[in-house]
Amino acid sequence: MTFSDIFKSSFLDNVNAVTILDMVLALVLAFGLGLFIFFIYKKTYAGVMYSSGFGVTLVALTMITTLVILAVTSNVVLSLGMVGALSIVRFRTAIKEPLDIAFLFWAIAAGIVLAAGMIPLAVFGSVLIGVILLIFANRRSDTKPFIVVLRCDDHESEEKALAFLRKQTKRCSVKSKSAQKGSVELNLEVRLLDDNTDFINALSDMAGVQSAVLVSYNGDYMG
């Protein structure tokens, strides 16, 4: 080893491993695909509360994945070290919507394919996935589900209220029931005949009915 070898930096040897043109082109395309994924996510979201932060995360995740794969493909030794480093990363954030997992994998996959140089596959695959999600995720049933929270005095008033609801709705099914002295509370899933909700007013005026509440929900019942 000579005196010059001591000051030789292997770090500087990797400066030109990826050209400026490759970096700019890959990151710009990743940003465009990330925006497209964000757009599809916004159009197909069906949860209770929309989070714009998750949409921005999809854009950032696509670009970050592209950045990492560009570095990995330029150096075999770095790729082995990257696998070991990423294996210790743990994410504790809970995914509340099942479809959000698909968007996360989509963003990661788009970044990987794009950084690998398969630009047509990344673009065509993302467009096809986006079209499929727009078609299927935006499909809604003809009758929107509702939850009726019903509180009655006793079993007799409960039976009368249920008979009234079954006449006023397409479908009425009990999801949960809690009973205590002097009070019976029911959670029922109903499908309306039309947009008229005046039957709730009539239901609350019935003898033995303490209260009746109509709540719209997205079909995921927690009970």
Question: Residue 146 pLDDT > 80, yes or no?
Answer: yes
How many angstroms separate the CA atoms of 10 and 34, rounded? 34
Where does the pLDDT of residue 28 fall: very low under 50, low under 70, confident under 90, or very high at 90 and above?
A: very high
Residue 32 binned pLDDT confidence (cut-offs 50, 70, 90): very high
Q: Residue ranges of the domains in the chain?
A: 7-137, 145-216
- Looking at residue 223, its pLDDT comes to 38
pLDDT of residue 2: 54
pLDDT at 59 over 60: yes
Q: Which residues of 121-159 are buried (b: 16+ CB within 10 A; e: fewer)?
A: ebbebbeebbeebeeebeeeeeeebbbbebbbeeeebbe
Rounded mean pLDDT of 27-39?
A: 93
Q: Using the predicted structure, report yes or no on whether residue 222 has a pLDDT greater than 50.
A: no
> Does the pLDDT value for residue 43 go beyond 80?
yes
Question: Is 86 or 190 the better-scoring residue by pLDDT?
Answer: 190
3-class secondary structure for 78-119?
A: HHHHHHHHHCCCCCCCCCCCHHHHHHHHHHHHHHHHHHCCCH
Q: Using the predicted structure, report yes or no on whether residue 213 has a pLDDT greater than 80.
A: yes
pLDDT(220) > 60: no
| pLDDT surpassing 60 at residue 85 | no
Higher-pLDDT residue of 72, 212: 212
pLDDT above 50 (res 6): no
The pLDDT of residue 221: 43
Pick the CATH number of 145-216 from 3.40.50.150, 3.30.1280.10, 3.40.390.30, 3.30.70.260: 3.30.70.260
pLDDT for residue 92: 63
- Residue with more model confidence, 79 or 146: 146
Q: 69 falls in which pLDDT band (50, 70, 90)?
A: confident
Q: Which runs of E-coded beta strand occur in the chain?
A: 145-152, 169-180, 183-192, 209-216
The maximal CA–CA distance of the chain, rounded, in angstroms, is 99
Tokens of 202: 């009539």
Whether the per-residue pLDDT at 140 is higher than 70: the answer is: no
Nearest to 223 by CA among 163, 190, 174: 174
Cβ neighbour number for residue 77 with a 10 Å cutoff: 7
